[in-house]
Amino acid sequence: LAKTTQPISMDSYEGQEVNITCSHNNIATNDYITWYQQFPSQGPRFIIQGYKTKVTNEVASLFIPADRKSSTLSLPRVSLSDTAVYYCLVAITSGTYKYIFGTGTRLKVLA
Amino acid sequence: GAVVSQHPSRVICKSGTSVKIECRSLDFQATTMFWYRQFPKKSLMLMATSNEGSKATYEQGVEKDKFLINHASLTLSTLTVTSAHPEDSSFYICSASGRRNEQFFGPGTRLTVL
């Protein structure tokens, strides 16, 4: 069974850089990797999307190695409001083609 | 980003009744919408993929006769939970797919079946 795995939880202090990695061995060759942020009882909110190498926007960076079997979300200087669950979303090919969410990483930012 | 709405945001119903959840893409046309279910402290699990004008594709283990999906227009998909039971209580989230296959998510619907 294809799995898309992430660390269960991480703690960080305000102002620090946080890196969250997602492993996705069965990723489809022709689709993007997307990361989302989710607060309790809300839908996931788009953070960043990439296909390969490095992508940066105003809130995060996404690093994708050449084999694309993993990806790392980098939040440059976290604040208390970044406390949330972070998910990667990838398309996998494991019998069928479908989108799979990662297991999720619960980030807690401490003052 | 694109805006996706869901209605209702919260519903409580009696066991055996049916509940309809609407998902709308407000500012773009979505040929594909997805329905997810999320249990407490768990990741989102894909239930079905809904394509406008055709039958939905259900994931393994999801009963198509219990979770009826209709995608009648490019901006609206509905999920009907038929004969709901307490084990169907969950957080249901829809998404609409954009041009680069990015998914824009609705705010979710909390279903509680008594």
Residue B65 one-letter amino acid: D
Mean pLDDT of chain B: 92
* B103 with A102: Cβ contact below 8 A: no
Give B110's contacts in chain A (Cβ within 8 Å): 41
Residue from B21, B38, B43, B102 to probe the interface with A (highest A Cβ count within 10 Å): B43
User: Considering only CA atoms, which of A97, A39, A90, A43 is closest in space to residue B94?
Assistant: A43
Segment holding B54, helix H or strand E: none
Residue B62 one-letter amino acid: V
Q: Under a CB-based contact definition with an 8 Å cutoff, are residues B31 and B54 in contact? A: no
Please write the tens of the pLDDT for every residue from A10-37. 999 999 999 999 999 888 888 889 999 9
Chain B contact for A42, CB < 8 A? yes
Closest Cβ–Cβ partner in B44, B91, B102 for A34:
B102
Please write the tens of the pLDDT for every residue from B48-107. 998 888 889 999 999 999 999 998 888 999 999 999 999 999 999 999 987 667 889 999
Segment holding A92, helix H or strand E: strand A84-94
Please write the tens of the pLDDT for every residue from A41-71. 999 999 999 999 999 999 999 999 999 999 9
